[in-house]
Amino acid sequence: MLPAILPSASKIYSTLGNNNSLVPLAIKDVANSIGLTTGSYIVGDQTEGKDRFIDEFGTQAIWLFGIPAYKKLLDLTIFKPLGFDSEIDVRNLKNKDIFEKAKQYAPSDKIKASLEKAGSKQKLFKGLTLAKFGVSTLMTIFTYWGLTKYRHKTTEENIKKELRAKAAAKKQKNADTTFTPQTAPQNIKAFSDVHKKSQKNNSALNFTGRIEDFMFSPVKNLMIVDGAITTERLAESRNKQDFIGYAIKEGSFWAFMYFAGQKIQEHFEKKSEQKYNRSIDLDARVIESEELKKAFKDKTLKNSLKAFENAKTDAEIYEFIMKNPDNFVVQMAKKSDIITTFKKGELKGKVDTRKYIDINEVKGIKEKLEKLHNQYTNSKLHNSKTENEALETFLAQVKKLKRISVIKNIGACIGALGVAAPALMVAMRYIGKDNKDFQVKKDIEKKLAFESAE
Mean pLDDT by 10 residues, the chain (454 residues): 56 76 84 86 77 84 90 95 95 94 97 96 94 93 88 81 76 54 44 40 40 75 84 80 84 87 90 94 90 93 94 95 96 94 93 96 96 91 79 93 93 91 84 67 66 58
Give φ, ψ of 239 to 5 degrees: -170, 180
Determine the pLDDT at residue 152: 80
* DSSP assignment letter at 10: H
* DSSP assignment letter at 80: T
Determine the pLDDT at residue 154: 84
**25-30 contacts, C-beta under 8 A, 24 or more apart:** 25/64, 25/219, 25/222, 25/257, 26/60, 26/64, 27/410, 27/414, 28/256, 28/257, 28/261, 28/410, 28/413, 28/414, 28/417, 28/418, 29/60, 29/63, 29/64, 29/257, 29/417, 30/60
Determine the pLDDT at residue 208: 37
Determine the pLDDT at residue 375: 94
pTM above 0.95, yes or no: no
Determine the pLDDT at residue 253: 87
